[in-house]
């Protein structure tokens, strides 16, 4: 690890045992960056492989055994990992293991997006990379395209987006942009899943009182990953802010919001649901809340009862 110099010895952001960001822009990441190879998962039989879409963007695809067993086409899920826009990877062992499990349970083709991380690539790089990846996936909607797993097995009438934490934030913005600009090949987004979404605002909410230090860290992290931000009511981090695109333009017919009772972001998710209901959006909204659980609890043990119930709700949405 490079030694600190006088110019970069000031820490501007730190999450213990996860990341340290210095004034110079130097970053030390302590978890989530070690790549795990694509493979055939022994437990689920799910196959995975990696594709580069551009010099900056790649994806990991997951194909469940159901693709061969059923003989038909499967729902397709575009997934955006979390990590506060500055941690984790589509190729990380935790995300890889979770998506093997989800692809098998949901009997869906999953495309996990590797986007560039802040602060080396500040917001909006993650959104631009994710939009590029979504467009690449959608380009297969006609049944053609360079990726056989999508061209041969994906049912684009059941195209959904999902993510956890910052990835849920990205999924929301991709659905909004899809509604405003459309997708290649006439593809349409049928559903969106937001798991413990990373939304903020200047207004305090009761769930932040459970861990004020964590709530403060999440606010400081946003300012570090998005140095050009206007603040916590920036529409990128607060979809309910004045000036944010109207939620009625969300480009899907179904939304599932997954919350955790002990998550400091819980009430941000609840407020999003209230805003969506009040927006005139004509779709169906489902909310699933796990009692006694914290932020992204499912990534610690995706075989636990609450994690399985959450994934079963996701599977139902994907297969409608």
**Residues with a known catalytic role:** 165, 263, 295
Residues 6+ apart with CB under 8 A from 22: 4, 8, 9, 10, 11, 12, 28
- Cis, bond preceding 56 (omega within 30 deg of 0): no
Nearest to 67 by CA among 160, 146, 158, 153: 153
- Residue position matching structure tokens 């989530």: 32
Contact 199, 269 (CB under 8 A): yes
User: 58 — phi, psi (to 5°)?
Assistant: -140, 170
CA dihedral 37, 38, 43, 47 (to 10 degrees): -170
* Residue-wise burial string across 76-95, b where 16 or more C-beta atoms lie within 10 A, e elsewhere: bbbbbbbbbbbbbbbbbebb
CA distances for 111 relative to 147, 204, 240, 301, 318, angstroms: 11, 35, 28, 21, 13
Helix, strand, or coil here: 88? Answer: coil
Q: Residue 313 contacts by C-beta under 8 Å, 6 or more apart in sequence?
A: 256, 258, 286, 288
Asked if residues 238 and 226 have their Cβ atoms less than 8 Å apart, the reply is no
Distance CA 62, CA 303 (A): 19
């Amino acid at each position: 690890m490079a030694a600190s110099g006088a110019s970069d010895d000031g820490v501007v952001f730190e999450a213990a045992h996860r990341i340290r960001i210095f004034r110079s822009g130097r970053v030390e990441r302590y978890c989530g960056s070690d790549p795990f190879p694509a493979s055939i998962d022994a437990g689920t039989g799910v196959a995975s492989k990696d594709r580069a879409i551009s010099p900056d963007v790649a994806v990991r695809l997951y194909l469940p055994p159901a693709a061969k067993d059923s003989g038909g086409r499967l729902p397709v899920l575009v997934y955006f990992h979390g990590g506060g826009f500055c941690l984790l990877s589509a190729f990380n062992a935790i995300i890889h293991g979770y998506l093997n499990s989800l692809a098998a349970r949901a009997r869906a083709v999953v495309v996990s997006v590797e986007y560039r991380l802040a602060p080396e690539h500040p917001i909006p790089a993650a959104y631009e990379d994710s939009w590029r990846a979504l467009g690449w996936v959608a380009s297969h909607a006609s049944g053609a395209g360079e990726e056989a797993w999508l061209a041969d097995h994906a049912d684009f009438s059941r195209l959904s987006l999902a993510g956890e934490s910052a990835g849920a934030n990205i999924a929301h913005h991709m659905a909004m942009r899809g509604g405003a600009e459309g997708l290649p090949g006439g593809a349409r987004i049928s559903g969106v899943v937001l798991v413990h979404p990373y939304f903020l605002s200047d207004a305090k909410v009761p769930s932040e009182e459970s861990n004020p230090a964590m709530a403060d860290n999440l606010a400081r992290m946003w300012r570090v990953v998005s140095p050009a931000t206007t603040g916590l009511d920036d529409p990128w981090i607060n979809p309910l802010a004045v000036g944010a695109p109207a939620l009625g333009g969300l480009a899907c017919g179904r939304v599932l919001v997954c919350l955790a009772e002990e998550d400091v972001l819980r009430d941000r998710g609840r407020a999003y649901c209230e805003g969506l209901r009040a927006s005139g959006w004509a779709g169906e909204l489902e909310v699933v809340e796990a009692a006694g659980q914290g932020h992204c609890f499912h990534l610690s043990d995706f075989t636990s009862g609450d994690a399985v119930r959450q994934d079963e709700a996701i599977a139902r949405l994907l297969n409608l």
